[in-house]
Chains A and B, each alone.
Chain A
Amino acid sequence: MRIHQGDVILESIKNIPVEAKYLRDGVVVRGEVTGHSHTIEKSKIYEKDNKIYVEVTEKQPIIHPDHPATVPIKIGNYSVRIQQEYFPDGSRQVKD
């Protein structure tokens, strides 16, 4: 299952890689320009090889100030895809 909110897609996965490093709680992706972040309050965020992983520990919505309240996201593990914009010197994450 996939959850798509704006420039972020969460993909349900069985397990988060064991080597993934714990980053923080809650904030899945920070909004670098607007300061608006995609947040799942009861979650743990991990990173491995520049890829973000989320462990959702309670059924709850993903929150973003520009988006309406969402359907609850199930407890489980997710990997995160962030939309990339093309630039001649290399693609980079869309600046939210």
Chain B
Amino acid sequence: MKILKINNNYSCEEQPSIVSTTLRMWLLNDKLHRGGGKPAVETEYTKLFFWRGLAITEKIAEAKLSIQEILEIENMEIRQAAMEIIGYEKFFQYAKEIHRFTPEQFEKKFPVKSNPMYSLYLLQTGKDEKNDDIKILMMNDPSKFPFVKYFIRVHPDEIDCGLAVAHSYDYKTYDEFNSKKFWV
């Protein structure tokens, strides 16, 4: 093990600052990535945090930033990563519902006016790193009681809840998604 430090910071341009035999790296689809607030690169002396290949701070990785702090992150990619880590549902005060839908068979459980089975939201927190809108689909799962809401990000072109949920399972239409189906 060799370590080079300047002013107590790991720093050296001429040679590696750390040479370690205990290096551990977590990759997902060829990119450094690790969830759960844990480092994607570890040696005995360092911990580095990555989210889908993007270097992030420990505070972002551990979801310790406030909503306001996240919204103030200037870098779009890092802000997007921080939002994913903390969970999109936390940003709903900054979201606008653009469509809601309850299939007929679930109207009693999920009255579309008060508690729809699906809602599609546009986050008004800025665009993502591709300059696309961030759209979130909220889903009530009818097979669970008490009912639980789930949130997933959907394609920025989605404008209809039924289609968005169908597309998320790789069906082309809502009818194809919903036909001959039992919820268990």
Known contacts being A81-B169, A83-B168, A84-B170, is A71 close to B153, with CB within 8 Å? no
In the complex, per-residue mask of A60-92: 1 if CB is within 8 Å of any chain B CB, else 0: 011000111011000000000111111111100
Cα distance, A9 to B168, chains bound together (Å): 11
- Interface residue? A14 (CB, 8 A): no
CB neighbours (8 Å) of A84 from chain B are: 168-170
Of B128, B152, B155, most buried by chain A (CB within 10 Å of CB) is B152
Q: Taking the nearest CB of chain A, how far is it from the CB of B88, in angstroms?
A: 10
Are B184 and A5 neighbours in the complex by a CB distance under 8 Å? yes
A3/B184 contact (C-beta < 8 A), A67-B144, A81-B169 known = yes
Main secondary structure of the interface of A (DSSP, over half): loop
Q: Are A1 and B143 in contact (CB under 8 A)?
A: no
The answer to whether B153 and A85 have CB atoms under 8 Å apart is yes
How close is A94's CB to chain B, nearest CB, in angstroms? Answer: 6
Is B129 a contact partner of A4 (Cβ separation < 8 A)?
no
Segment touching A, from B55-63, B117-125, B175-183: B175-183
Closest 4 CB pairs of A and B: A70-B184, A2-B181, A85-B152, A86-B155
Interface of A toward B, CB cutoff 8 Å:
1-6, 9, 33, 61-62, 66-68, 70-71, 81-90, 94
